[in-house]
Structure 1
């Protein structure tokens, strides 16, 4: 705070100002705000109050108190003497300022507890007593410029007491309100997630018409204070039983049709800031089931994966997975399972999942099991051959399940590896005990002679489908010795 300077100092300041003006003609110098000093504080005489003050030219005095953050030095002052008890909310909009409220006199000021504020978008709460003079200090950096200061009396909280709880007729509901004038009623319960018992609270009541899962939102976007919302059943403060509790976040709970809920909302350090509370119906789960491979066969395990989605942000777990063949898996610990079918067919798999708040959902998927399986049962290749000779190599293919179109490819193997030399495609009916023969004519060359001997490999593949047991689809014949031409 600044005391009035003496006459000699005033003369020196005036002389210096005149000299500077002579050296710098045409340069304007703004004056500090009218309430730059404690003794010239702007009096708040009526509520609501609003004032626009330019902190860009504000200064500080050596005896200005700084009990809060000790950051800035430019200050302005306001005073307020209420004629009756009132809860006051002081607001600085989005301006980044520091503020504090004092009682007492210059040089002997006492900080009002809980009135230190710093940052943008903050509101200061003051429980002002009739006849007491309060001094509001606003402090900021010089580049902040114009700040809008407002003060208003906070009205009584209508649903402060359990008996005056606000009825919620329909969902969703979202309320944003201050707790500045809320109180703590004797006998109020403390929610299980409330780590600041004894905080001011308000009350709501809601009776669901149908059994439903409800989202309870306790100021989940708050960043300055901790808001607690607790849900109870019962009819009076003496017989309440907790159903759910959320602390500066959201939770889901199951509500029974016709059973009235009592909802308590409190915040330990909200001051004059608004807190928010919401109640809405939880969105349905979106069940999803992944089945792989498709189609499957009796020779492999089929993968079943839970790909369900919870639009409320929680995960899902499997309650039951019915594979459709009489086998049912109940509450597996993983989000997936494997199952092998004993016979070909079309099976209806059903997945039931559970999500946050007791929600369930079911989906189904057709699992196709088709075991396609052809096999190379014979491969006739010559034991020897001369260069220039053409020999027939014959491959026998068996098939017992489904009529298939089969492509058999013949490979020649040597020092450079295997190279395809031809493919024959035929229809192979499903006939147990019978085979279909695939013939290849091969003429031996000088390159084969250089190898000394060659190896032939036959690979049979059903077209358009996946062979369930490919290990019997490939056969390698014994090596053929290659001889030079006669004569």
Structure 2
């Protein structure tokens, strides 16, 4: 006998599944909004403060302020009542909209300059006795975010009289100007586009005169940091000696104290960097072209020098070693020597911060010049007949080992026939003869004529005038062999 089974309805099945899901996944089915989802339940900040908040679980109240907050943005609220005048810093670990208000619900007043829509730290001055409301807002797709708040203490070197001494180099400092001030009577550096901005002070007394890199947050992506460099003893008698935007090389004298004023308008609580270190020396480089010149060459001297600090170099002086001294405006000079010899060339360069450097190079001027002054080739030839071809080489400067190559030319171009090598002494009015034996062939007959070419080359040296090293003889007519 089969049991009597009761089939559950579809509605009952759905109810059972829903119940199981509710038991197994309570966090998904019944996620609670943050406790500070509403301004009336704003979390009171006890500083320093840090918490993680699930912004996607928050909601938007109908009376959320419309200043800085987009309609429908989910919001969470924090409150802080200052007991003394302080500077507050807020941080989030993700891109987030935030704003600060005073007043009460329904009558909130936006604190100017506190609307932010990025992940940079925010800061603002809080006044004693005032309650501030901080709102974090974002769309429903925002993820969990970490929020922190803290009091920013005034920098210890906020005032000139408390300038921080710079000792061992390289010196670097991480700082924020959120709680910095500008003193009465404080100067503004000549390159500072935001006079009166908050500042901090450093003092530097170098043991030796030299060039130093002063870095005003050059890698931070901020465009307002400036450093004014001054000499003097008080705010009343400071004299500006340099103004640095980004990074510059500056010369400071030994045992003379320099005061460095760091400013950066509009950077709020962002972390900034300041540094001082010795500038790296210039790297002089002199290139000579051609490397083995003659008295017929206009020699080019190029100052391919390098500044590791990126400021570039200029030629202060170029002594060419033969009594000629140049002060070029460009990076190169042309010069022709009038006699063979070894000339010591000296290049003096200059860079930023008064840096200088010198390099010397010996330029050996040697004029090697052999010339083909005579070329005798037969006017006619017969197949199978051997005739002589002679080449006369002249040389008046240095004894050379010369190679003379004889070429045969036809409708396809020139082909080397033979090369002879021998010494050619330096003798005015005399020549050295190179003699070749050439036997005419059927291939020559097929062409009808052949053209002889001779090329003379001095071994291991560059010929100063190569145009007189090649000679081509008139065409030689070729006839059949005699029977």
Whether these two folds match at TM > 0.5 is yes
* 2-structure distance, mates of 1:41, 1:239: 51
Q: CA offsets per residue over residues 159-183 of structure 1, 9 Å max, x none?
A: 2222222222332211111212211
Distance change >3 Å, CA 421–CA 336, structure 1 → 2: same
Q: CA offsets per residue over residues 297-326 of structure 1, 9 Å max, x none?
A: 111122211121111112111111111111
1:6 alignment partner in structure 2:
none
Deviation of 1:429 after TM superposition, in Å, equals 1.9
1:312 alignment partner in structure 2:
309
What secondary structure sits across from 2:428 in the alignment? coil
2:321 alignment partner in structure 1:
324
Distance change >3 Å, CA 20–CA 191, structure 1 → 2: farther
Deviation of 1:451 after TM superposition, in Å, equals 3.1
What secondary structure sits across from 2:423 in the alignment? strand
Q: How does 1:284-299 map to 2 (within 5 A)?
A: 284-299=281-296
Tell me, yes or no, if the aligned pair for 2:315 and 2:349 is still in contact at 8 Å: yes
* Pairing 1:212–2:220 present: no
* 1-structure distance, mates of 2:16, 2:332: 86
1:395 alignment partner in structure 2:
391
CA RMSD of aligned residues (A): 2.1
* Pairing 1:245–2:243 present: yes
TM-score, normalization by structure 1: 0.90
Distance change >3 Å, CA 156–CA 485, structure 1 → 2: closer
* 2-structure distance, mates of 1:485, 1:69: 109
| Higher mean C-alpha deviation, range 468-477 or range 336-345 | 336-345
Distance change >3 Å, CA 20–CA 243, structure 1 → 2: farther
Q: How does 1:105-120 map to 2 (within 5 A)?
A: 105-120=104-119
2:414 alignment partner in structure 1:
418
Deviation of 1:410 after TM superposition, in Å, equals 0.8
Tell me, yes or no, if the aligned pair for 1:184 and 1:199 is still in contact at 8 Å: yes
Q: How does 1:346-361 map to 2 (within 5 A)?
A: 346-361=342-357
* 2-structure distance, mates of 1:124, 1:98: 11
Size of the aligned set, in residue pairs, is 465
Deviation of 1:382 after TM superposition, in Å, equals 1.4
2:439 alignment partner in structure 1:
443
* 2-structure distance, mates of 1:275, 1:485: 97
* 1-structure distance, mates of 2:32, 2:195: 49
| Higher mean C-alpha deviation, range 277-286 or range 151-160 | 151-160
1:11 alignment partner in structure 2:
none
Select 2:278's aligned residue among 236, 257, 281: 281
What secondary structure sits across from 1:119 in the alignment? coil
* 2-structure distance, mates of 1:402, 1:302: 21
Deviation of 1:484 after TM superposition, in Å, equals 3.1
Deviation of 1:392 after TM superposition, in Å, equals 0.6
Deviation of 1:226 after TM superposition, in Å, equals 1.9
* 2-structure distance, mates of 1:148, 1:47: 15
What secondary structure sits across from 2:117 in the alignment? strand
| Higher mean C-alpha deviation, range 143-152 or range 282-291 | 143-152
* 2-structure distance, mates of 1:269, 1:71: 28
2:98 alignment partner in structure 1:
99
Tell me, yes or no, if the aligned pair for 2:60 and 2:72 is still in contact at 8 Å: no
Tell me, yes or no, if the aligned pair for 1:225 and 1:270 is still in contact at 8 Å: no
Distance change >3 Å, CA 423–CA 35, structure 1 → 2: same
What secondary structure sits across from 2:256 in the alignment? coil
Q: CA offsets per residue over residues 187-239 of structure 1, 9 Å max, x none?
A: 11111111111111111221222211111111112225621111112222222
2:187 alignment partner in structure 1:
189
TM-score, normalization by structure 2: 0.91
* 2-structure distance, mates of 1:38, 1:369: 89
| Higher mean C-alpha deviation, range 216-225 or range 265-274 | 216-225
What secondary structure sits across from 1:90 in the alignment? strand
Q: How does 1:56-205 map to 2 (within 5 A)?
A: 56-68=56-68, 70=70, 73-92=73-92, 94-120=93-119, 122-205=120-203
* 2-structure distance, mates of 1:225, 1:471: 61
* 2-structure distance, mates of 1:351, 1:19: 93
What secondary structure sits across from 2:288 in the alignment? strand
Distance change >3 Å, CA 31–CA 21, structure 1 → 2: farther
| Higher mean C-alpha deviation, range 448-457 or range 391-400 | 448-457
Select 2:451's aligned residue among 451, 455, 459: 455
Tell me, yes or no, if the aligned pair for 1:374 and 1:473 is still in contact at 8 Å: yes
Structure 2, unaligned runs of 5 or more:
1-14
1:371 alignment partner in structure 2:
367
Deviation of 1:43 after TM superposition, in Å, equals 0.8
1:265 alignment partner in structure 2:
262
What secondary structure sits across from 2:443 in the alignment? helix
Deviation of 1:417 after TM superposition, in Å, equals 2.4
* 2-structure distance, mates of 1:69, 1:398: 94
Distance change >3 Å, CA 19–CA 163, structure 1 → 2: farther
Q: CA offsets per residue over residues 95-114 of structure 1, 9 Å max, x none?
A: 22121110011122111122
Distance change >3 Å, CA 256–CA 20, structure 1 → 2: farther
What secondary structure sits across from 2:444 in the alignment? helix
Deviation of 1:152 after TM superposition, in Å, equals 1.5
Tell me, yes or no, if the aligned pair for 1:179 and 1:200 is still in contact at 8 Å: yes
